[in-house]
Amino acid sequence: MADPTDTRDTGPRPGTPLWAYLATVIAVGFVALVVSQLRMDTAEVVELARSPLFWMLTVLVVLGELRPVILSASLTVGGTYPSTMFTFAALLHYGLPIAVLLQTVAMVVNGAVTRKACHRVIFNIAQVTLAYTAAGMVLDLFGDHPVTVGDGVPDGTDLLAIGLAGLAYFVVRAALVSGAVALHERRSIHRVIKTTIGHQSLVYAGLLGMAPLVVVVMNHSPALVPLFLAPVLAVYFTASMSVRRDHQAMHDGLTGLPNRKMLVLSTEEALAEAREGERVGLFLLDLDRFKEINDTLGHPVGDRLLQMVAHRLTHSVRPGDVVARLGGDEFAVLLPSVRDAAAAREVAARLRVAITEPVRLEGMSFDLDASFGIAIYPDHAPDFEMLLQRSDVAMYLAKESRTGVEIYAADKDRNSPERLTLLGDLRRAIDRSELRLHYQPKLDLSGGQVRGVEALLRWRHPERGMISPGEFVPMAEQSYLMRHLTGYVIDAALEQAAHWWHTGLHEQISVNVSARDLLDLALSDQLGAGLARYRLPPKAIQLEVTERILMTDQAYTADAVRALASLGVPLALDDFGTGYSSLVRLQRLPVAEVKIDSSFVRRIGESKDDERIVRSIVDLVRSLGLRSVAEGVESAEVAERLADMGCDLGQGWLFAKPMSAADATVWLRKHRGLAPHDFGFLRPAEILDPQRAWSSLSP
């Protein structure tokens, strides 16, 4: 039978239901033990002590109690001790007092060898005593008990009595242990019995069924009794092989935790057993910045950290909760029973505290942290897949908000059915080439010459009309579609660049890519093949990536970035100023251009702080030998101030709005080769209406 306190050696807290239950079983069991021992005849015991058969049986009972036969990797099912066969044989041959005495001695030895807590040993002795007492009462009822010690030898007429006695033993022991497990793990006793009864009944049927044969052999040829160890060893070997396969299929090889398959089964079981008004909680968590540790110190150190995290989680959850590893640094915790979302948050907060304890490893100290997402059944989802998906949403919300723990909230879930439908529409739009690139020029602020264009993605949905990139690009970044979308944009930009370059318009096209795309070798392969196919020089296209790439150390060592540098494709840093990163780190990347975020540019003239920020960025960019580009230039005054600061290029509605490929071609041909005065690039002192001069650039 499973040990109800396998994961805790400190004992139940006084006053709890489990404590009261164990105390009652122990009290009743030890009364039965004392009563049984008082029934023994001293003279017969002395005579028995002189029998080699008795001592041989005692040794077999003790040996059989040292290691259980385990048929399942489930902790709830536990193991079955072969001592049952020999103790039940002692019950049939010597009677209840001797059987109980032998089993008590064996359990005390087991407790000493395996260092079990006293309360566990005492409870086990009590519940086994009660089980054998029930079996002995059945035998007494049928009159099948030895008149004197050693006279009991069963025959064919005793089969019914022996069968019912074995059944009584199994039912009482199963009920007592299942009750303790149910209280310990906060599960229904029906669920515990359902989980354990199948495995345990088969093993006990075999062990109890062999006990009469042991008695017959004891009576006719005692020297052959040890041969019963052979089938027991065979069962051990077969069971261990089965459990090993079961464990490998259901557990993670690195941490030994349940894997996703076992988590699914445990969750579905918990949902099926949940009663009206009961809740089941599912946490999803992953370690923050773990990839940096893995990349810096190597996978062996990362693996040891994962093992330590697994150990901390399993020793911080409540009895009955399930900790699983889903892969990488991602873990899940199942709460089969939880009062409400607030209680689930308390458990998650406790687990997070356990994880954030400093770790000493390889002579270094690590400060780990984790983000937890919580979903509750039935409040948030009706099944495992939805619980997992919504706990995942909550986890990423915890990462974004840096709160550490978040509970799923429908109003913050971007994975709505409408969003998923839109994702499918985007997939079809890419396949059908329904997306279009528009182009916005970048102009030299000091002279007015065109210095390239930025490609901006546009999607006109057949039913919803124009959809903003701010709506579908972040959605693609969080899905498998981002690589397809980037590939589509790169190919469209190269095709347009080829059209312009081969007709005399040598304008560079800037394309936005995500940090994930930049670190993907497939991007450089696609660019190299595309440049060769369209017969374009590398400078015909430029990749723009957001400032956040500076915060990723991997960017400075990635093979993909080195491949792009070897290819000669220039990089630009987009939206600079919003990420609070150091410009000094720019020297470690092959960046040619830095684009100042429009949120700072638009407030020049209104906010002295923003103007100082822009001036500082321009000065530092120039000191590094890079080109500065101001985004969101919408007035002549702002353009004039930027030119005075020494900003190189400007981009915004003052010069031109994003245009279709056809309109952009007309605009570029119209403004190609014009002198600065033809663009209206005159100093305010030289013209009466600067706004009119700047706006003359618009098509």
pLDDT tens-digit readout, 606-616: 878 888 889 98
Element at 465 (helix H, strand E): strand 465-467
For residues 229 and 501, give the distance between their C-alpha atoms in angstroms, rounded to a whole number: 87
Quickly count helices (H) and strands (E) in the chain: 26, 18
- Provide mean pLDDT across the span 163-180: 89
More confident call, 283 vs 8 = 283
More confident call, 248 vs 535 = 535
Residue 672: predicted pLDDT: 72
Find residue 450's DSSP bridge partners.
443
Residue 684: predicted pLDDT: 34
Residue 222: predicted pLDDT: 78
Share of the chain above pLDDT 70, in %: 84
Per residue in 526-581, pLDDT (tens digit) is 999 999 999 999 999 999 887 666 555 555 556 777 888 889 999 888 877 554 44
For residues 85 and 213, give the distance between their C-alpha atoms in angstroms, rounded to a whole number: 10
The DSSP output letter for 635 is: S
- Provide mean pLDDT across the span 276-284: 89
Q: pLDDT-based confidence at 295, cuts 50/70/90?
A: low
The DSSP output letter for 634 is: -
Identity of the amino acid at 483: R
SS3 string of 533-567? HCCCCHHHEEEEEEHHHHHCHHHHCCHHHHHHHHH
Tokens of 486: 């980037």
Share of the chain above pLDDT 90, in %: 27
Of 289-303, 503-517, 683-697, which gets the smallest average pLDDT? Answer: 683-697
Pick from 27-31, 243-247, 594-598, 608-612 the range whose average pLDDT is largest: 27-31
**Direct distance between the N- and C-terminal alpha carbons of the chain, in angstroms, rounded to an integer:** 84
Residue 359 CB contacts under 8 Å (≥ 6 apart), including other chains: 305, 308, 365, 366, 367, 368
Res 654 pLDDT > 80: yes
Cα 428 from chain centre: 31
Residue 680: predicted pLDDT: 43
Residue 649: predicted pLDDT: 93
Res 686 pLDDT > 50: no
Residue 683: predicted pLDDT: 38
How distant, in Å, are the alpha carbons of 460, 513, 587 from that of 467? Answer: 6, 19, 37
Q: pLDDT-based confidence at 670, cuts 50/70/90?
A: confident
For residues 398 and 288, give the distance between their C-alpha atoms in angstroms, rounded to a whole number: 11
More confident call, 595 vs 359 = 595
Q: pLDDT-based confidence at 651, cuts 50/70/90?
A: very high
Res 699 pLDDT > 70: no
3-class DSSP state for residue 576?
strand
For residues 246 and 168, give the distance between their C-alpha atoms in angstroms, rounded to a whole number: 31
More confident call, 189 vs 211 = 211
For residue 260, count other CB atoms closer than 10 A to its CB.
17
Residue 28: predicted pLDDT: 94
The DSSP output letter for 382 is: S
Res 325 pLDDT > 80: yes
Res 12 pLDDT > 80: no
Residue 206 CB contacts under 8 Å (≥ 6 apart), including other chains: 235
Res 149 pLDDT > 70: no
Q: pLDDT-based confidence at 687, cuts 50/70/90?
A: very low
Residue 198: predicted pLDDT: 66
Q: pLDDT-based confidence at 442, cuts 50/70/90?
A: very high
Res 453 pLDDT > 90: yes
Pick from 281-295, 515-529, 543-557, 618-632 the range whose average pLDDT is largest: 618-632
Per residue in 36-77, pLDDT (tens digit) is 888 887 777 788 888 888 888 888 888 888 887 665 545 444
- Average pLDDT of every residue of the chain: 81
Q: 71, 116 in Cβ contact below 8 A?
A: no
How distant, in Å, are the alpha carbons of 305, 667, 672 from that of 441? Answer: 50, 9, 12
Residue 492: predicted pLDDT: 94
Domains of the chain: 17-250 (1.10.1760.20), 260-412 (3.30.70.270), 434-695 (3.20.20.450)
- Provide mean pLDDT across the span 416-420: 66
Find residue 70's DSSP bridge partners.
79
- Provide mean pLDDT across the span 394-402: 82
Phi, psi angles (nearest 5°) of residue 543: -100, 130
Q: State the helix-helix crossing angle for 83-94 and 118-142, rounded to 10 degrees.
A: 40
Strand pairing class (364-366; 359-361): antiparallel
More confident call, 640 vs 203 = 640
How distant, in Å, are the alpha carbons of 213, 432, 627 from that of 649? Answer: 97, 36, 8
- Provide mean pLDDT across the span 610-623: 88
Residue 137: predicted pLDDT: 92
Q: pLDDT-based confidence at 431, cuts 50/70/90?
A: confident
Q: 604, 611 in Cβ contact below 8 A?
A: yes
Q: 311, 368 in Cβ contact below 8 A?
A: no
